[in-house]
C-alpha cells in the first residue's frame, strides 16, 4: 500500500509539472515572449518644441530656442572615469563636478544621465565628433522657451513650470505626468493642451542586466501648435512703455468684434526667470508687494468712481427720471440726511451734458436719489457688471454690485440715502475690473452692443472662434445713447471737460475720467473712452492704481494714442 501511494504521489507530481511546462511553453508562449521582449527594450523620452505664441500679424511674441544636453549611458566598454575625464576636457569643466553629477543622477544602467545641461553648439559638435572614442554619450537637443521681448505681455502669456500636485490630480487622466512642464497663468495655462508637444522616444536594447547594447529605433516628438492672438505687438509695446513705473492696466479693444489689441498690466515680470530656474529672482517675484504676476486688467477689482456715471445717466434717461432739460445747481456740496456730500468743484448750473463732461457729483447725487438703489443695481447688471466677461484667459474675477437685499442679509444693515449717493458716483461697495469698464464703454461706442472680449485669433493658422456668443444689443433708446455719447465727447472737447488734455490728440476721442477714493494711499485714476468719435474703431481703458486722479489717466491715454498714430500702427 505504501509503494502504491508513493507511485500515485510521484505520478500526480509529474502530471502537474508537465501541465505547467505545457502551459508556459505552448499556451502562454506568445504572452511570455512579449514580456521577454519588453524586458530587453527601453524607451528614452524625446522632447519636442512647445507651440509658438504670435500676435495678430503673426509676429513672434514667444518661441523656442534649441539648447543641448549631454547625457551619459552607463554601459560596458570605456570606464565611466575615462569617459568623464575626456568630457571634462572638452567642456572645460571640473572632472570632480561631472562625477558628482553622474552619481547623483544614476538610476539604472540603461537610463541616460544628464551630466551637463545647456552646452554650447560648438561643444555639442565637438562631442559628436568624438563619439567613436566616447561611445557611451548622447548629445540631445533640448528646446527652451524664448521670450524675445522680455516682460512684454507677461501676464497675458503666463510662464512655465513643473506641474504641481493640484494640477496633476486634475490632469493625470489627460496624459500629464510627474515632472511635466506646464503653463501657469495666461495663454500658457489656458491653452496648454494646444501648446504642449507630444513626446517622442528613442528605443534601445539592453541585456539581462539592463546594460545598453544598441539603438533599435526612433520616434520623433510632435511639436505643439502655434497660437495667434488678437494682440498687436506694436500697440502693446507703446502701452507698456507708457505704464512704466506705474501700477495699473491698459486695455484697447476692437469695437467691431471685441478682439483685445492691448492688454498691459503693470508692473510685470520676465517669464524667462522660471525657465532659468533662478530661485532668488523667482522668490523676489512672488514676494513683491506690487504683485507683478497679477493681471490687473481682469483679476483685480476697483471702485469705478465717475466712469460709472454713464450707467447712471442711461438709467435716469431710460426711466424718464431726468430729461435733456433737467438741471441742478452745484454749489460745491449738498445735504443728504444729516450729512453734507461734497462735489470736487463748484460747477454752477449743470444739465446732463455738462454733468458728464465736468463730472459733477451734485448732479449725480440728486439723479441717483431719484432713481433709487434698485434701479441703479439693475442697470449696472444690465451693462454686464457683477459677472464675468468670459474672456479666454484664466483667473478673471466678476466684480460686485451691491443691493439693498444683500446689505440686509449679509451686512445686517439697512440701506440709507447716503449709500445711494455714494453708489450713484461709483463709490462704496461697488467693484469692477478694467475689462468690465472697457465693455461698458463699448456700449456707447457701438450704439448699444455688448461685446464679448476675446484674445485668441487662430490655432496653427486656422481661425478659432472662442467668443461665447455674438454681440448682443442692450435695450436702450437711440436718444439715450446719443445723449451720453455727446456728453463723453464734451468731456474731451470742452475747455471745462475733465479729459480736456485729450483735445490735442491726433484723433477725436470721447470718454470719461474717474477718480476713485480708496481707504489707503492715493486715489485710483480712470479713463475709459473710444476713438475716432464719428466712427469708433477702438475702445480704450486706462486704470492707474493709486495714480492720483482721472486727469493722470487721461494724460497716459493721450501719450498712448499719440504714439500709436505717430508710428502709423492703426
Domain ranges of the chain: 2-39, 43-229, 233-566
Triad 224, 229, 231: Cα angle to 5°: 145
Rounded to whole angstroms, the Cα distance separating 538 from 256 reads 8
Rounded to whole angstroms, the Cα distance separating 529 from 550 reads 12
Alpha-carbon torsion angle 352, 354, 360, 363, nearest 10? -30
Rounded to whole angstroms, the Cα distance separating 423 from 560 reads 31
Strand pairing report for 60-72 and 53-54: antiparallel
Peptide bond into 267 cis (omega under 30): yes
Rounded to whole angstroms, the Cα distance separating 554 from 306 reads 13
* Residue 175 confidence (pLDDT): 75
Q: What is the CA radius of gyration of the chain?
A: 33
Rounded to whole angstroms, the Cα distance separating 199 from 399 reads 41
User: Cα-flanking dihedrals φ and ψ of residue 15, to 5°?
Assistant: -65, -40
Rounded to whole angstroms, the Cα distance separating 361 from 306 reads 8
* Residue 77 confidence (pLDDT): 46
Which helix (H) or strand (E) covers residue 425, if one does? none
Three-class DSSP category at 348:
strand
* Residue 223 confidence (pLDDT): 82
Rounded to whole angstroms, the Cα distance separating 359 from 353 reads 10
What is the CATH architecture of 43-229?
Answer: Alpha-Beta Complex (3.90)
Give the pLDDT of the chain (570 residues) as one tens digit per residue: 666 766 766 677 677 776 666 665 666 666 555 545 555 666 566 677 899 999 999 999 999 988 887 777 776 445 677 777 777 777 777 777 777 777 776 766 656 777 777 777 777 777 777 766 766 777 777 788 999 999 999 999 999 988 888 888 777 777 777 778 889 999 999 999 899 887 766 666 655 555 555 666 666 778 889 999 999 999 999 999 999 999 999 999 999 999 999 999 999 999 999 988 888 899 999 999 999 999 999 999 999 999 999 999 999 999 999 999 999 999 999 999 889 999 999 999 999 999 999 999 999 999 999 999 999 999 999 999 999 999 999 999 999 999 999 999 999 999 999 999 999 999 999 999 999 999 999 999 999 999 999 999 999 988 876 555 678 889 999 999 999 999 999 999 999 999 999 999 999 999 999 999 998 889 999 999 999 999 999 999 999 999 989 999 999 999 999 999 998 876
Q: How far is the CA of 156 from the CAs of 58, 152, 398, in angstroms?
A: 16, 9, 18
CATH code matching the domain that covers 233-566, chosen among 2.40.110.10, 3.40.50.460, 3.40.50.720, 3.40.710.10? 3.40.710.10
Amino acid at each position: 500500500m505504501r509503494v502504491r501511494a508513493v507511485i500515485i504521489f510521484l505520478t500526480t507530481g509529474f502530471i502537474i509539472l508537465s501541465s505547467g511546462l505545457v502551459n508556459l511553453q505552448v499556451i502562454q508562449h506568445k504572452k511570455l515572449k512579449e514580456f521577454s521582449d519588453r524586458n530587453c527594450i527601453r524607451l528614452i523620452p524625446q522632447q519636442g518644441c512647445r507651440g509658438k505664441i504670435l500676435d495678430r500679424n503673426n509676429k513672434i511674441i514667444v518661441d523656442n530656442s534649441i539648447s543641448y544636453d549631454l547625457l551619459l549611458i552607463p554601459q560596458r566598454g570605456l570606464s565611466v572615469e575615462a569617459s568623464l575625464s575626456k568630457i571634462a576636457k572638452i567642456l572645460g569643466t571640473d572632472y570632480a563636478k561631472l562625477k558628482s553629477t553622474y552619481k547623483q543622477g544614476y538610476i539604472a544602467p540603461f537610463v541616460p544621465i544628464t551630466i551637463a545641461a545647456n552646452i554650447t553648439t560648438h561643444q555639442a559638435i565637438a562631442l559628436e565628433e568624438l563619439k567613436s572614442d566616447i561611445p557611451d554619450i548622447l548629445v540631445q537637443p533640448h528646446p527652451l522657451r524664448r521670450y524675445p521681448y522680455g516682460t512684454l505681455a507677461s501676464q497675458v502669456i503666463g510662464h512655465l513650470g513643473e506641474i504641481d500636485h493640484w494640477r496633476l490630480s486634475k490632469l493625470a487622466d489627460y496624459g500629464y505626468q510627474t515632472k511635466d512642464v506646464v503653463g501657469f497663468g495666461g495663454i500658457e495655462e489656458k491653452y496648454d493642451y494646444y501648446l504642449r508637444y507630444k513626446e517622442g522616444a528613442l528605443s534601445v536594447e539592453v541585456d539581462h542586466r539592463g546594460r545598453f547594447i544598441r539603438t533599435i529605433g526612433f520616434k520623433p516628438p510632435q511639436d505643439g501648435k502655434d497660437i495667434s492672438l488678437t494682440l498687436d505687438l506694436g500697440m502693446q509695446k507703446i502701452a507698456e512703455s507708457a505704464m512704466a513705473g506705474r501700477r495699473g492696466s491698459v486695455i484697447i479693444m476692437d469695437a467691431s468684434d471685441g478682439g483685445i489689441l492691448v492688454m498691459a498690466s503693470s508692473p510685470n515680470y520676465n517669464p524667462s526667470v522660471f525657465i532659468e530656474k533662478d530661485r532668488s529672482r523667482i522668490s523676489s517675484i512672488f514676494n513683491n508687494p506690487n504683485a507683478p504676476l497679477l493681471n490687473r486688467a481682469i483679476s483685480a477689482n476697483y471702485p469705478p468712481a465717475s466712469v460709472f456715471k454713464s450707467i447712471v445717466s442711461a438709467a435716469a434717461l431710460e426711466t424718464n427720471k431726468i430729461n435733456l432739460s433737467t438741471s441742478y445747481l452745484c454749489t460745491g456740496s449738498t445735504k443728504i440726511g444729516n450729512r453734507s456730500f461734497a462735489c470736487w468743484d463748484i460747477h454752477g448750473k449743470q444739465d446732463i451734458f455738462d454733468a458728464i463732461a465736468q463730472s459733477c457729483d451734485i448732479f449725480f447725487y440728486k439723479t441717483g436719489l431719484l432713481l433709487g438703489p434698485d434701479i441703479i443695481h439693475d442697470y449696472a447688471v444690465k451693462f454686464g457688471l457683477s459677472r464675468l466677461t468670459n474672456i479666454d484667459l484664466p483667473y478673471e474675477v466678476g466684480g460686485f454690485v451691491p443691493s439693498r437685499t444683500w446689505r440686509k442679509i449679509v451686512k445686517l444693515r439697512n440701506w440709507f440715502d447716503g449709500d445711494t449717493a455714494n453708489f450713484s458716483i461709483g463709490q462704496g461697495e461697488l467693484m469692477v475690473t478694467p475689462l468690465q469698464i472697457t465693455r461698458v464703454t463699448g456700449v456707447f461706442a457701438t450704439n448699444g452692443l455688448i461685446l464679448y472680449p476675446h484674445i485668441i485669433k487662430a490655432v496653427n493658422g486656422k481661425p478659432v472662434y472662442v467668443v461665447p456668443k455674438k454681440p448682443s444689443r442692450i435695450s436702450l433708446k437711440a436718444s439715450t445713447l446719443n445723449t451720453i455719447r455727446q456728453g463723453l465727447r464734451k468731456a474731451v472737447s470742452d475747455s471745462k471737460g475733465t479729459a480736456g488734455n485729450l483735445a490735442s490728440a491726433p484723433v477725436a476721442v470721447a470718454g470719461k475720467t474717474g477718480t476713485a477714493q480708496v481707504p489707503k494711499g492715493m486715489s485710483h485714476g480712470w479713463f475709459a473712452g473710444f476713438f475716432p468719435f464719428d466712427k469708433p474703431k477702438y475702445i480704450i481703458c486706462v486704470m492707474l492704481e493709486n495714480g492720483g486722479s482721472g486727469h493722470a489717466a487721461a494724460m497716459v491715454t493721450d501719450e498712448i494714442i499719440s504714439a500709436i498714430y505717430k508710428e502709423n500702427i492703426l
